[in-house]
Amino acid sequence: MKGIVFKSTGSWYSVRDSDGHFLDCKLKGLHRIKGLRATNPIAVGDMVLFEMQQGENIGIIHKIEDRKNYIIRKSINLSKQIQIIAANIDMAYLVVTLALPRTSTGFIDRFLVTAEAYHIPVTILFNKIDIYDKKLLEAHQKMKAIYEDIGYICREVSALRGDNIAELKESMADKTNLFSGHSGVGKSALLNAIDPSLDRKTGEISESYLKGKHTTTFAEMFCLDNGGFIIDTPGIKEFGLIDFKKEDLTHYFPDMFALLPDCKFYNCTHTNEPHCAVKKSLEEKRLSESRYRNYINIFYGEGIDENDWE
Ligand SMILES: Nc1nc2c(ncn2[C@@H]2O[C@H](COP(=O)(O)OP(=O)(O)OP(=O)(O)O)[C@@H](O)[C@H]2O)c(=O)[nH]1
Ligand SMILES: [Mg+2]
Ligand SMILES: [Zn+2]
101 lines ligand 1 (CB under 6 A): no
Mutate to test the pocket of ligand 1, among 130, 133, 163, 202 (most ligand atoms within 8 A of CB): 202
Backbone angles phi, psi at 114, to 5 degrees: -60, -45
Ligand 1 atom nearest the C-alpha of 236 is 25
For residues 83 and 106, give the distance between their C-alpha atoms in angstroms, rounded to a whole number. Answer: 21
236 lines ligand 1 (CB under 6 A): no
What is the mean predicted confidence (pLDDT) over 117-122?
93
189 lines ligand 1 (CB under 6 A): yes
CATH class of segment(s) 2-64: mainly beta
What is the mean predicted confidence (pLDDT) over 117-126?
95
Per-residue model confidence as pLDDT tens digits over 56-83: 889 999 999 999 999 888 766 666 678 8
Helices (H) and strands (E) in the chain, counts: 7, 13
Per-residue model confidence as pLDDT tens digits over 246-290: 889 999 999 999 999 999 999 999 999 999 999 999 999 999 999
Q: What residue segments make up the domains of the chain, in order of their start? A: 2-64, 73-232, 246-299
What is the mean predicted confidence (pLDDT) over 218-234?
97
Q: Does position 50 have pLDDT exceeding 50, yes or no?
A: yes
Tell the CATH superfamily of the 246-299 domain: Probable gtpase engc; domain 3 (1.10.40.50)
Pick one of 3.40.50.12780, 3.40.50.180, 3.40.50.360, 3.40.50.300 as the CATH number of 73-232. 3.40.50.300
Would you call 277 helix, strand, or coil by DSSP?
helix
Which pLDDT value is given to residue 310?
Answer: 28
Which pLDDT value is given to residue 25?
Answer: 96
Confirm if 235 and 216 have CB atoms less than 8 A apart. Answer: yes
For residues 111 and 238, give the distance between their C-alpha atoms in angstroms, rounded to a whole number. Answer: 9
198 lines ligand 1 (CB under 6 A): no
Ligand 3 centroid to residue 170 C-alpha, Å: 40
**Counting ligands in written order, which one lies closest to the CA of residue 136?**
1
Ligand 1 atom nearest the C-alpha of 216 is 23
Reported pTM:
0.93
3 lines ligand 1 (CB under 6 A): no
Round the average pLDDT of the chain to a whole number and report it. 91
Which pLDDT value is given to residue 30?
Answer: 58
Mutate to test the pocket of ligand 1, among 157, 215, 230 (most ligand atoms within 8 A of CB): 215
CA distances from 147 to 45, 71, 127, 258 (A): 27, 20, 15, 15
Q: Does position 32 have pLDDT exceeding 90, yes or no?
A: no
103 lines ligand 1 (CB under 6 A): no
For residues 265 and 261, give the distance between their C-alpha atoms in angstroms, rounded to a whole number. Answer: 8
128 lines ligand 1 (CB under 6 A): yes
Higher local confidence (pLDDT), 205 or 284: 284
Q: Does position 92 have pLDDT exceeding 60, yes or no?
A: yes
Per-residue model confidence as pLDDT tens digits over 166-188: 999 999 999 999 999 999 999 99
